[in-house]
A and B are shown apart, each in its own frame.
Chain A
């Protein structure tokens, strides 16, 4: 059985490039090195939820049609629309995204990608103050202080710690995996003792409890040798359980906490006892750890971009990193979600000048977040058609936005029958990028990587790029016919 090595995983922004896939009779039968989500995609992508034929909604039901009929109907719908939305783009290749920009320009529509509902605010923050960042390789080999702020990589980027941060064996910094395993064993042992105590097998030992109280609370763990891991979140996540120190911040108060840390890093004193629910004495310990590291990095997620403050949170996080760079070396990086959402920003920016929320309705690209972003256009009910590709706003957009989306014709390009596909008027099945089609994707640190094709797509199933090219071609024919008729 052929084994394909060094496959790049097309799921999250980590783009792990060490996946090994065993193929038999054009099917993935076994895989190695992937996380739980990766395994479920490679082994489950051909399941019953796969769409095998183009469909059009007739009398309220999606019925199979020919590719030519679906392409013509989709092109006609888009060409006749005054203000269509072209949304998604994050789970497809840069090659398909490039055709998307061309199509949006041809139609005079709004081109937006999923970063509008994930790291759009990060981009706005970066546009305000710049970003001191680096590649994940630098972090793997050199970072001795890792901070995850408002993100839970164990759930969303399961191999991030193992490949790029605390649990990876770098050239200059060692893995903390063994220390973590010892902590887990010690914790399990403590639980057993407590259980035995409750059942009366072991006598109560007051001295042991006093000692436990003395070490809990204050961040003693920050004084340890080697790589340190700090997690800041509103709830104790799985990643927080692995951390050397966990700070539980009150919801919507990350901005205050970061400003307090900025003050402490600049040796100013705070005249309050607590900030965002965290005692100032703990923050002072954390500030010491930040200043005294050799190379630190802050990874941040939706806990900053989706809470009160939104892009202002990112602006102040970057400012904290800027302050820290006066004392030591520090970098900051957004935890990008979909495997090519970073690519969607890059392609949109080098083609149109703007990374997301681009409006072509005046014949040239305009960018004004809040006005030209897809969410706001939908909430104002201004669009009159939508094309959704490689995303699922039907499941991931607030209710009112989806209500307005389905009022008008909805064209969906996706391999699976997801929530948006169920709501579609015209549905195109597509091949899986990174499994059935090759392409380019950008990792969360903006390093482009080639995605591999490990199996052939089912017969008649085209790639996103091919479907978009067909629609674009047909749109141009319809528009030239209209011009001639006029």
Chain B
């Protein structure tokens, strides 16, 4: 049965595409492509009725961000979503440092819902929207 929203655990981390993009330049199209996406489990995408390469809205206690949903190609990851490191991931990752200086970049509870008509923000748009610069 289709669900309007799905509760998941959010992880952020490196991908090779993110690495290549960051060295080319943070405002390069390669970096934008690599970081403004979210890997999702194929079955979870079916539950939400989300097609590959369509937009979803990821929401946590920290805020919301629109990302392109991509089916994770290497086996099932039920209940997990993975956003490559970057400002898009950091719009929603938990900043709880548990008193040791390290935010909780992996393991933040999140909700995902389809957002096919909401646009992805570029780096400039995202910075302007979040920090007014």
Report yes or no: A238 in contact with B74, Cβ–Cβ below 8 A.
Answer: yes
CB within 8 Å of B: which residues of A? 11, 36-37, 40-41, 44-45, 47-49, 60, 112, 116-117, 120-121, 124, 152, 154-156, 158, 234-238, 240-241, 251-252, 302-303, 305-308, 310-311, 356-357, 369-370, 373-376, 379, 392, 394-403, 406, 416-419, 422-423
CB B9 to nearest CB in A, in angstroms, measures 5
CB A10 to nearest CB in B, in angstroms, measures 10
- Per-residue 0/1 for B8-40: is the Cβ within 8 Å of any A Cβ (1 yes, 0 no)? 010101111011111111111010000000000
Report yes or no: A44 in contact with B103, Cβ–Cβ below 8 A.
Answer: no
Tell me whether B86 is interfacial, beta carbon within 8 Å. Answer: yes
Report yes or no: A235 in contact with B130, Cβ–Cβ below 8 A.
Answer: no
Bound form: Cα–Cα A178–B67 in Å? 39
CB A465 to nearest CB in B, in angstroms, measures 22
List A contacts of B132 (CB < 8 A).
406
List A contacts of B82 (CB < 8 A).
235
9 tightest A-B CB contacts, nearest first: A373-B101, A49-B25, A370-B99, A398-B95, A41-B23, A236-B75, A37-B19, A156-B14, A418-B26
Bound form: Cα–Cα A303–B13 in Å? 9
Report yes or no: A37 in contact with B16, Cβ–Cβ below 8 A.
Answer: yes
List B contacts of A307 (CB < 8 A).
104, 106-107
Report yes or no: B102 in contact with A306, Cβ–Cβ below 8 A.
Answer: yes
Task: Report which residue of B62, B63, B85 has the largest number of chain A beta carbons within 10 angstroms of its beta carbon.
Answer: B85
CB B53 to nearest CB in A, in angstroms, measures 20
Listed by A's residue number, 17 A-B pairs whose Cβ atoms lie within 8 Å are: A36-B16, A49-B24, A116-B101, A121-B100, A152-B14, A235-B11, A235-B74, A251-B107, A302-B13, A310-B98, A310-B100, A370-B98, A379-B95, A396-B87, A398-B62, A399-B95, A401-B95
List B contacts of A423 (CB < 8 A).
127, 131, 133
Report yes or no: B102 in contact with A235, Cβ–Cβ below 8 A.
Answer: no
Closest to B130 in A: A399
Report yes or no: A237 in contact with B106, Cβ–Cβ below 8 A.
Answer: no
List A contacts of B80 (CB < 8 A).
234-235, 251
CB A247 to nearest CB in B, in angstroms, measures 13
Known: A40-B24, A241-B74. A152 touches B13 (CB 8 A): yes
How many residue pairs link A and B with beta carbons under 8 A? The number is 186
List A contacts of B18 (CB < 8 A).
155
Bound form: Cα–Cα A120–B97 in Å? 11
Closest to A118 in B: B102
Q: How large is the interface on B (under 10, 10 to 19, 20 to 34, 35 or more residues)?
A: 35 or more
Interface class of chain A by DSSP: helix
Contacts beyond the supplied A155-B18, A251-B107, A397-B90: 18 A-B pairs with Cβ under 8 Å: A36-B20, A40-B24, A116-B102, A121-B100, A234-B80, A251-B11, A303-B106, A307-B104, A373-B97, A375-B95, A398-B62, A398-B93, A399-B63, A402-B90, A416-B26, A419-B87, A422-B123, A422-B127
8 Å CB contact of A117 from B20, B30, B62, B102 = B102
Report yes or no: B26 in contact with A369, Cβ–Cβ below 8 A.
Answer: no
Tell me whether B118 is interfacial, beta carbon within 8 Å. Answer: no
8 Å CB contact of A120 from B62, B101, B123, B127 = B101
CB A190 to nearest CB in B, in angstroms, measures 15
Bound form: Cα–Cα A49–B99 in Å? 36
CB B100 to nearest CB in A, in angstroms, measures 5
Tell me whether B94 is interfacial, beta carbon within 8 Å. Answer: yes
CB B49 to nearest CB in A, in angstroms, measures 23
Tell me whether B5 is interfacial, beta carbon within 8 Å. Answer: no
CB A162 to nearest CB in B, in angstroms, measures 14
